[in-house]
Amino acid sequence: MASVTHTSEAPPWRLPMVPRNRDEQHRASTPLELLFDLCFVVGVSQTAGRLHHALAEDHIAHGVAYYLMVFFAIWWAWVNFTWFASAYDNDDVQYRLTTMVQITGALILAAGVPRAFDREDFTVVVIGYVVMRLALVTQWLRVAANDRERRVTALRFATGIAAVQAGWIFRLWLPHDWGLPSFLALVICELLVPIWAEHAASTTWHRSHIAERYGLFTLIVVGEAILASTTAIQIGFDVGGHRAGLLGLSAAALVMVFAMWWLYFDRDAEEVLTTAQSAFFFGYFHYFVFASAAAVGAGIALNADAIMHATELSGRGAAWAIAVPVAVYVLSVWLVHRVPVDGLPRSLAFPVAATLILLAPLGKRPLLLIPAILVILVVVTSRHWPPTRPKRVEAAAQSG
């Protein structure tokens, strides 16, 4: 069956939903995908912001639990759209409109984040999530009608997603004590749907495209730390006092962000995406990469509060609010990017660094020690020094 490629012409109303070419050269994110990511920034920002407020009020267990739950909804909807688009983006009008419905669902979800954290009411979040997921069901039904080779795969995706959405809606009426067990059960069901569906026939996702998409979303969540650092400087100058401490925090935050970026992009994700099994591992474990990176921003904001004595947490507790997500980020990048390429013995510097970062709040100056550990990790583990461009970037430059 012929594959779909994009053109510069105006999109027709309807095209066959057939697979795109897995070997398409220089496959890049489309403007619609970038708009999709931009709208998800709202949800990420809302969720990280509520985590910050929960931690500042010393509601640590509640804040972390609800952060991880809401972030799952954001992450999983983004993941499913990304992999679907990598295989079946035909760019017709119906595809664009359906994607815009998914974007609308993401914004509804973001609007429900404060209610979920403050009132433990997930109604609006679930409405937004179900809108996103059911819109994707219609896309899979189009695939089932056009891609005969993967008809069973598409129908499994459509029926599996729809069934789990019924579960999320039913969960709203369950007793409060059943909230966490039912959530975990539905998460497992969500994660099993792609495994079950792809077992029938693998979709034609594009290695370079997936690597770029995940890299772009990593930049979005890391950007939360940059926003928190900028906000700390602004507060220092607006409120007055504590300027030295806030400026020091901002400098430390920027060094951490630069190091986090370097550690992630020092390896080309295409080297990891070689098999279906590696793709599932890559896709699923990025939850920890994304969630920890966004949580670093909440930790930076909390440390700004601690400097201004505007939180009930101690200085050491605030330092752990940075140390824990940074350590999780380091371990996640290690598992997703480094171990599959470098092997376990050659990449042990990552878990060592993560351990030292977790111990840093026990010292006197953790906000100096954590960035220093990250910088040392970058120097020790960088594949090339000075660094070189990834293979796909080099190939594109040479062909251009």
Of the three residues 198, 218, 242, the one that is the final residue of a domain is: 198
Tokens of 159: 């029926």
Q: Do 323 and 271 share a structural domain?
A: yes
| Residues 220, 369 share a domain | yes
Q: Do 303 and 253 sit in the same domain of this protein?
A: yes
Residue 132 and residue 72 share a domain: yes
234 with 174, same domain: the answer is: no
Same structural domain, 255 and 385: yes
Please count the structural domains in the chain: 2
Task: Identify whether residues 128 and 252 lie together within a single domain.
Answer: no
The answer as to whether 11 is a domain residue is no
Domain-terminating residue out of 137, 171, 198: 198
> Same structural domain for residues 153 and 297?
no
In a domain, 183, yes or no: yes
- Residue 10 inside a domain? The answer is no
pLDDT at 311: 81
Q: Which long-range contacts (CB under 8 A, 24 or more apart) does 186-194 make?
A: 187/72, 189/160, 189/163, 189/164, 190/76, 190/164, 191/284, 192/160, 193/156, 193/157, 193/160, 193/161, 193/164, 194/80, 194/83, 194/157, 194/280
User: What range does the domain containing 124 cover?
Assistant: 31-198
Q: What is the 3-state secondary structure (H, E, C) of 279-343?
A: HHHHHHHHHHHHHHHHHHHHHHHHHHHHHCCCCCCCHHHHHHHHHHHHHHHHHHHHHHHHHHHHC
The last residue of one of the domains, among 179, 198, 217, is 198
Judge whether 281 and 341 are in contact, CB under 8 Å.
no
Residue 1 counted as domain residue: no
**Residues 266 and 147 both lie in one domain:** no
Quick check: is 4 in a domain?
no
Task: Give the model's pLDDT for residue 391.
Answer: 53
Residue 296 has a pLDDT of 94
Residue 232 sits in the same domain as residue 327: yes
Q: Give average pLDDT by consecutive 10-residue segment, the chain, 400 residues.
A: 52 83 85 92 89 89 92 93 93 93 93 90 94 95 95 97 96 90 96 95 92 93 82 70 80 92 89 84 94 93 85 84 96 90 79 96 91 95 58 50
Looking at the structure, do residues 171 and 314 belong to the same domain, yes or no?
A: no
| Residues 147 and 226 occupy one common structural domain | no
DSSP tally for the chain: helices H, then strands E: 15, 0
In angstroms, the CA 275 to CA 284 distance is 14
